[in-house]
Amino acid sequence: MANTIKAEDVLQAYRGRTGCMCGCRGKYFEPESRGLAGVLRDVNARMDEATRIAPSRLNKGSIVAIDRDGKTLALYLRPGARVGFVPLYR
């Protein structure tokens, strides 16, 4: 896959029901956890559905997310991570 996110570029991952992403409807995973590896695998498999959320004051790196069938997968990327082309959410 040409447009693949690498594990070393991920600071944190989220898997849960679509909503606020505070953690009440899903779970966050830290680097090197099995959960993060699963979210990374699933996002890379559906990269054509992914949306990139630009960095903010709270999150210095981009977020790559997929919302599908009431579920959200999100990868919080380290600043400067290169993931190829993922459309920017506006």
* CB within 8 Å of 14: residues ≥ 6 apart: 21, 26, 27, 28, 29, 39, 72, 73, 74, 76
Who wins on pLDDT, 52 or 90? 52
pLDDT, residue 86, reads 65
Task: Tell whether the model's pLDDT for residue 78 goes beyond 70.
Answer: yes
* Residue 90 binned pLDDT confidence (cut-offs 50, 70, 90): low
Mean pLDDT of 3-13: 90
- Comparing 4-8, 19-23, 25-29, 43-47, which segment has the lowest mean pLDDT? 19-23
> Burial, 10: exposed, middle or buried (Cβ in 10 Å; 0-12, 13-18, 19+)?
buried
